């Protein structure tokens, strides 16, 4: 099972924040047990999707030698159930760092309705050096979600 909970990035402001989309499909295996006859997206998966959006935005600020790992979820609120097939817009705004600890204010929306929010705290750790598997994984995520293309465009416009 792939654990990529962002389908596509809509925008990224390197080092400041990002907006992404995720739609959980009705046939996703999680809905067999969560819950039969009443399928809802688990709150932990919504939190992870917000975390991945924030984490990739933070990775643009950390540079090539560091990688963000989620270490704390604060003030999480789930305002309503999200059903399979609903498109979720994920937003993350980065806050200033304290040493190697960063935080992000995250929100999840279905249409104009906010369905979840949390303040997520990350620790910047050294990126594995010489790990082809890690590098391949990162390249795949950047390609599959469109984040790589958005970052290239942001860098290009910043240098013009």
pLDDT at residue number 159: 59
pLDDT tens, residue by residue, 100-119: 999 999 999 999 999 999 99
Q: Whole-angstrom Cα distance, residue 58 to residue 92?
A: 9
Which pTM does this prediction carry?
A: 0.91
Which of these is catalytic: 8, 34, 61, 83? Answer: 34
Q: What is the homologous superfamily of the domain 8-155 according to CATH?
A: Hotdog Thioesterase (3.10.129.10)
List phi, psi (to 5°) of 68.
-85, 135
pLDDT tens, residue by residue, 34-63: 999 999 999 999 999 999 999 999 998 888
What are the residue ranges spanned by the domains of the chain?
8-155
Does the annotation count 34 as an active-site position? yes
Residue 29 tokens read as 């295996």
């Amino acid at each position: 099972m792939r654990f990529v909970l962002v389908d596509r990035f809509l925008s990224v402001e390197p080092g400041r924040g990002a907006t992404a989309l995720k739609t959980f499909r009705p046939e996703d295996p999680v809905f067999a047990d969560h819950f039969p006859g009443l399928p809802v997206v688990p709150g932990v998966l919504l939190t992870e999707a917000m975390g991945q959006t924030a984490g990739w935005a933070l990775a643009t600020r950390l540079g090539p030698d560091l990688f963000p790992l989620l270490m704390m979820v604060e003030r999480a609120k789930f305002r309503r159930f999200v059903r399979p097939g609903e498109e979720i817009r994920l937003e993350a705004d980065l806050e200033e760092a304290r040493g190697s600890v960063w935080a992000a204010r995250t929100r999840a929306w279905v249409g104009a309705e906010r369905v979840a929010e949390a303040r997520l705290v990350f620790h910047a750790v050294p990126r594995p050096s010489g790990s082809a598997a890690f590098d391949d994984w990162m390249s795949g995520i950047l390609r599959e979600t469109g984040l790589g293309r958005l970052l290239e465009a942001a860098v290009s416009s910043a240098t013009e």
